[in-house]
Structure 1
Amino acid sequence: MTSQASPAVGPSTPEAAPAREPAVKVSVIVPVYNPGRYLEDCIASLLDQDMPAGEFEAIFVDDGSTDHSPRRLDDLAATHPLIRVIHQANSGWSGKPRNVGIEAAHGEYVFFLDNDDRLGRQALRRMYAFAKANDSDIVVGKMVGKGRGVPRELFRKTYPAATLADSPLIDSLTPHKLFRRSFLDKHGLRFPEGRRRLEDHVFVIAAYFAADTISVLSDYVCYYHVRRDDDSNAGFERLDPKSYFCFLREALDIVEANTEPGPLRDRLYRRWYRVEMLERLRGKRLLDTPADQCGPLLHEIRTVVAERFGPGVAAPLPPTHRIIGSLAQAGLLDDLLGFADWENNIAATVRLDDLGWQDGTLQLTLTAELRNGDKLLTFAHRNGRDTLDVHCTLSPAGQAALTEADPDCTSRLQKSKVDVLARNRDTRAEYLLPTTFSRTRYPVAEQGAVFGQVFQARATVDIATAASGRPLPTGTWDLFVRITSCGWTKETRLGADRSDAATDHCVPSVDSQRDMMVTPYWTDKGNLSLDVGKHTNRRPAHTGRRLAGSLRRWARNSAKQ
């Protein structure tokens, strides 16, 4: 079905949905503007949903596209009853198309999907069932990013009922969620319209405060957040600092209107301070910012911080963030660039000490650490405290700002952690593997008070349960190690640096429950990957004959069944 949007639709005058039991369970709303080839993956993921076709609909709102998308969508709607298309003049951003979609929706719930992203096959069915089981106003389904950042801590576990006070919910402010339609209407929740940034933050934070029950579904990847190869996603357009932080203040206004001064307000504000401000002033991100934009960006950040944030916002942050914040508030752009250059060289390194199959599970032992260039990242222990050992040249004012920031990281080092994860090479779905680890303080030679932190870790790959309690799906799974320490989260592939024992023990196994081969192997770059049921031709060099024979026997046996 194809139609034209009514020009009267807007955020200020939402109409109540008819009082009826919806036949459609979920309406998926897709704002469309020149998505090019990325639209096909979005469409395919909708047509592939395992929710029965009569129980959901997809509403594509074409916002004046000038590519082939309008015709493609009209042709699609002509052959698929679950597809509806609305055409409208270009509004400049995603807010109005989403509002138009809400007004047109027949579903009990609505879900917002971007035209260059896609859904997991079971996403709608699982999220709807979870919403009904928990009487949820909002369901946040697990996201993974393909070149885009997504919340990770939020999806470490499933929350039948989460709040802004007891979960990392504030880390998820994109609109890619399931919302009860009657809830949106009851509270008059609509997106700000026009060409503007952070319309999703304003909508989502208002919805969080209004909701009675917010649920987080973390045991299935519902949403794939995709970065286009040409960086043409709307969020990657050049930023105008003045207007951007004007829009950001609108989100802060909603927090202020719904909280009292104190720890909760500071905690919520901290998300914008950390992600939208400090992260823009650190490492590669700052170094890649156009020179003519750095000054205005710093000015706007300083202005918002001075206007809105008390000391309680920055105090609990890691030392790296506190240092950047202190340099920023002093207006020291050159020192920020120097610190960013130093930070940009920090990376995780890992050595695979051994691996082997034990009772049907692959056991991995490894040593991991953070390094700056070719040297261990170091800390200084003085007067009973551990402080960050910063090796970059700062101005006298910069040194004073660093001291004022207090680079103490004693408690942060005690909370540092290492995770091992499996990530699907095609879909980018990722699962944390059960991992235990210990921390060791490694003294730097001839400098007794200076040390680095080294992790010894053991991870288990249980093919039967690795996917959040379910079997790891068929495919190629790359293994990564992630270190979180003192404000850094650094990730690296596992296996290129390995012991002879690890090489010797890299042999295939069989998933007896699914009768398929599971083959750990070294990639062309020497990294460790798992081939689950795809029967790769790559093999451990030393066991080539043994592996080839195993694969041939498995293939012959499979052919007979």
Structure 2
Amino acid sequence: MPVKVSVVVPVYNPGPYIEDCVASLLRQSLPPEEFEVLFVDDGSTDATAARLDALAAEHPHIRVVHQENSGWSGKPRNVGIEASRGEFVMFVDTDDHLGDEALERMYEYGVAHKADVIVGKMAGKGRPVPVELFRRNHPYATVDNAPLIDSLTPHKMLRRSFLERTGLRFPEGRRRLEDHVFITEAYLRADNVSVLSDYVCYYHVKREDATNAGIQRFEPAGYFKNLREALDVVERYTEPGPLRDKLLRRWLRVELVERMSGPRLLALPDDYRRELFREMHALVLERFGPGVAAGLRPGGRIVSALIRDDRYDDLVAYAEWESGVRPEAAPTGVEWQDGTLRVRFSAEFTDADGPLAVRPDGPRPPADGTPADLAEAVSWLATAAADGFEQATADLILRDRETAASFFQPVAVTRERVAAGDGRTRLVLRGTATVDPATAAGGAPLHSGLWDAYVRVGLGGWTKECRLGPAPARGLALPPAGMVAAGRLVLPYWTRQYRDLSLDVDRAVRSLGLHRLTPADAAVSDTEVLTVALPLYVPDTTEVLVRLEDGASHRSVDRASVLTPANGARSLLEVRLPVPLLRNAGWRAALVLPRDGGQERALGLPLLLKVGRRPGAVEVTPTAPPGLPQRLLRAARRVLGAVLKKTTGKV
């Protein structure tokens, strides 16, 4: 069978950090006979060579190439390209791992759209990844109609015939930014680039020992020499004008301005940041004309101008002020409505003095000027924020706490100017997000786990994220768990330490509140129908099972039941009891939820059905003795077990 994808993995002394990568490659939904993995061992001196050879002996679709150390990743990737047999080539690093369906989805997406380059959605675990690029799918992306240039890491899938036709290869030797040179040229020469954003294909991971090659401190002169080679590629394949300026702006913004801004600059030793500054000053004068900086946001233009004009001390002063500017987002309402969770919030920027207040009639920043001092810079930014307020944005993002997979949710935004006194105005964004658990993960249901809510605020010169919270100590109630999206239980909750909004999907049991049910919440009718009021939201009548189990005989009886909405925040469970089968026994009840793939989840109810011998003799009692909470009963059992073990050696 023809090989669809060749996965090329450069390897050098990864130690145990390669295991997640290996496991994700072995879990791929693409059948093993349809892809191959090429590990190129670049002269590892640890146990990696033996580990890879053992993998290859066990799995026919895994091959290993051993070579002398070349010093960086370029040559191993090129060796992998030469050895590959697939229709496409995918580059993966040992620190990272793939989503289980990544190869299959990226391959099918690339074939469907005749793409030479496929960019799969990324999630960053401790490492930054593009956000705006993956807001939606871009089947036909270019550097002009999509923010492709924001993603220059090599972790893409490329058509092998495209690589052969163009002769495109990575620069070799010990050097930085070889991926920038390679990927930039790929974007500019490809017939089509497709961006897949509705599934997380690649997890970009920061190692616990923080020794990833890409995040180590670099030697400035060599780094910016290599950066110039990426700029050379842009100039080779574009004409002077707006598009070239737009592309060059990426390096000015990311590699210079962002490094010289806020906490990122202040965290560096003074001697090292001065060395960076000298190299950047020379680079700005040499390669970035006025049209490049003019397209930056106001804050970026200020930093770029300070670098250009060799004003290091003013740059540090600006960074110290900017490090205190951050967004705050406060939840104002959370409720279930029509099967979706509606999340209302307000958001604005703050600085050290509180909410950021602006003077709408202040001086406006020039396209190519430098502020005289910090006060003028702050005034320019405030006026720019006021001028652009009608275009300000506020997005709600759900981020999986374990994997860092992030998904934008639909938000309706209004903008309000609030008087702050002394002729100043606060710029407040108010949003209502609609979270549909059935489609919130890029069109797919939210998977089991904890999902944290972030608000991404774009205003004036900044786009920054913050957690949605803290919630007020009083006055903002949360709705109960919702049984939505094919039987999933979605529980909104405030985090314990900071009272930020998060969603628990299919993990909470006790937090659902079922343990607080009492016999007063249940009733048995004359027609032997058990009705229980549950703290669960359901959008429509939902079929479930009720499982009754006799604790003495361990017999169980399943009965088809329904949950119906009641009072918006609760539901009624109704089940017809097969009393003749239940007589003369006590039965514990559990709610059994339907799940995808035929699986089920049983939630115990703290109710005991005592069914007598005579017809109609059904009593609902607590499963624990009256007045004794379940937590105290469990604690008593633990204490008793410890005593028995200490005295008898048995429990």
Q: TM-score, normalised by structure 1?
A: 0.89
Residues 196-205 or 469-478, more deviating: 469-478
Structure 1 residue 59 displacement after superposition:
0.8
Query: Do the aligned partners of residues 221 and 411 (structure 1) sit closer, same or farther apart at CA in structure 2, a change above 3 Å counting?
Result: farther
- CA deviations 1:136-189 (Å, max 9, x no partner) are 111111111111111111111111111111111111111111101111111111
Summarize the Cα distance change of 1:102–1:218 in structure 2 as closer, same or farther, 3 Å threshold: same
- Superposed displacement of residue 219, structure 1: 1.0
Q: Which residue of 1 aligns with 2:483?
A: 510
- What does residue range 435-474 of structure 1 map to in structure 2 within 5 Å? 435-445=411-421, 447-448=422-423, 450-474=424-448
**Shift of residue 68, structure 1, vs aligned partner:** 2.8
Shift of 1:115: 0.5
1:427 and 2:462 matched = no
Q: Contact 1:521–1:538 (CA<8 Å) still a contact in 2?
A: no
**What residue in structure 2 maps to residue 358 of structure 1?**
337
Q: Which residue of structure 1 lines up, in the alignment, with residue 463 of structure 2?
A: 489
Could you say which residue in structure 2 is the equivalent of 1:391?
Answer: none
Question: Does structure 2 conserve the Cα–Cα contact (< 8 Å) formed by 1:164 and 1:170?
Answer: yes
SS in 1 for 2:344: strand
Q: Secondary structure at the match of 2:332?
A: strand
Unpaired segments of 5 or more residues in structure 1?
A: 1-21, 389-393
Amino acid at match of 1:521: Y
CA shift digits 1:510-548 (9 cap, x unpaired): 01x522322112222222221212234445899898999
- What does residue range 273-422 of structure 1 map to in structure 2 within 5 Å? 273-382=252-361, 408-422=384-398
CA distance in 2, matches of 1:395, 1:142: 39
Gap change, CA 1:153 and 1:456, over 3 Å in 2 = same
Q: Distance in 2 between matches of 1:548 and 1:274?
A: 57
- The 5-angstrom pairing of residues 263-274 of structure 1 reads 263-274=242-253
Which residue in the other structure is 1:12 paired with?
A: none
Match of 2:147 among 156, 159, 168: 168
Q: Using the alignment, how far apart are the partners of 2:34 and 2:260 within structure 1?
A: 46
- Measured in 2, the distance between the counterparts of 1:272 and 1:380 equals 32
- How far the C-alpha of 1:404 sits from its partner, in A, is 9.8
Could you tell me whether the CA contact under 8 Å between 2:327 and 2:465 is conserved in 1? yes
Q: Could you tell me whether the CA contact under 8 Å between 1:144 and 1:428 is conserved in 2?
A: yes
Q: Which moved more, 1:409-418 or 1:85-94?
A: 409-418
Q: Specify which of 532, 536, 540 is matched with residue 505 of structure 2.
A: 532
Distance in 2 between residues matched to 1:23 and 1:555, nearest whole Å: 51
Distance 1:63 1:412 in 2: 51
Give CA deviations for 1:429-487 in whole Å, capped at 9, x if unaligned: 11111111111222322x11x22211111011111111122222222211111112223
Amino acid at match of 1:462: D
**Distance apart, 1:506 and its partner CA:** 2.7
Given the superposition, is the C-alpha separation of residues 149 and 540 from structure 1 closer, same or farther in structure 2, using an over 3 Å criterion? farther
Confirm or deny that 1:192 pairs with 2:168. Answer: no
Equivalent residues of 1:64, 1:90 under 8 A apart: yes
Q: Tell me what 1:17 maps to.
A: none
Where 1:455 maps in the other structure, the secondary structure is strand
Instruction: Check 1:84–1:94 CA distance in 2 against 1; reply closer, same or farther (3 A cut).
Output: same
Contact 2:249 2:295 in 1 (8 A): no
Flag the 1:544–1:158 CA change in 2: closer, same or farther, 3 A. Answer: farther
Q: CA deviation at 1:71?
A: 2.0
Secondary structure of the corresponding residue to residue 155 of structure 2: coil
Residues 538 and 62 from structure 1, CA distance in 2 versus in 1: closer, same or farther, beyond 3 angstroms? farther
Aligned AA (2:443): G
- Secondary structure, aligned partner of 2:304: helix
Q: Cα–Cα, structure 1 residues 339 and 51, in superposed 2: closer, same or farther, change >3 Å?
A: same
Residue 460 of structure 2 is aligned to residue 519 of structure 1: no
- Counterpart among 4, 12, 24 of residue 33 in structure 1: 12
The farther-off stretch of 301-310 and 188-197 is 301-310
Distance (whole Å) between structure 2 residues aligned to residue 326 and residue 411 of structure 1:
21
> Do the aligned partners of residues 396 and 477 (structure 1) sit closer, same or farther apart at CA in structure 2, a change above 3 Å counting?
closer
Matches within 5 A, 1:33-72: 33-72=12-51
SS at match of 1:348: strand
Displacement of 1:49 in angstroms is: 0.5
For residues 350-374 of structure 1, the C-alpha deviation after alignment (integer angstroms, 9 at most, x for no partner) is 2111111111111111111111135
For 2:61, give the aligned amino acid: L
Question: In structure 2, what residue type is equivalent to 1:317?
Answer: L
Task: Compute the displacement of 1:123 (Å).
Answer: 0.6
Structure 1 pair 517–397 and aligned structure 2 pair: CA distance change class (3 A): closer
Letter matched to residue 518 of structure 1: V
Matching residue within 232, 252, 256 for 1:253:
232
User: Is the 1:354–1:501 contact (alpha carbons within 8 Å) kept by the matching residues of 2?
Assistant: no
> Quick check: which one's strand share is greater?
2
Which AA in structure 1 matches 2:496? D
Corresponding residue for 2:648?
none
> Are residues 536 and 560 of structure 1, via their aligned partners in 2, closer, same or farther at CA, if it must alter by over 3 Å?
closer
Same amino acid, percent of matched pairs: 50
- Residue ranges of structure 2 left out of the alignment (5+ in a row): 522-531, 537-545, 547-572, 574-588, 594-599, 603-651
Query: In structure 1, how many angstroms separate the alpha carbons of the residues matched to 2:434 and 2:515?
Result: 24
**Alpha-carbon spacing, 1:197–1:134, altered in 2? closer, same or farther (3 Å):** same
Residue by residue, what CA displacement relative to the aligned partner does 1:112-154 show, whole Å, maximum 9, x if unpaired?
0011011111110011001111111111111111111111111
1:135 counterpart SS class: coil
Deviates more, 1:401-410 or 1:117-126: 401-410
Supply the AA of the counterpart residue of 1:413: F
What's the offset of the Cα at 1:423? 0.8
Q: Which residue of 1 aligns with 2:86?
A: 107
User: What residue in structure 1 maps to residue 135 of structure 2?
Assistant: 156
Whole-angstrom distance in 1 between the partners of 2:372 and 2:251: 29
The structural deviation recorded for 1:314 is 1.0
Q: Which moved more, 1:211-220 or 1:551-560?
A: 551-560
Counterpart check, 1:212 vs 2:184: no
Assess, with a 3 A threshold, how the Cα gap between structure 1 residues 542 and 77 changes in structure 2: closer, same or farther: closer
Give per-residue Cα distances to partners, 1:347-404, cap 9 Å, x unaligned.
2212111111111111111111111135112322226x6679xxxxx99666788899
Match of 2:591 in 1: 556
Name the stretch that deviates more: 60-69 or 420-429: 60-69
The 3 A distance-change label for structure 1 pair 498 and 82 is: farther
> What is the number of equivalent residue pairs in this alignment?
530
Q: Is contact 2:395-2:456 (8 Å) kept?
A: yes
How far apart in 1 are the matches of 2:511 and 2:264?
37
Residue 596 (structure 2) aligns with: none
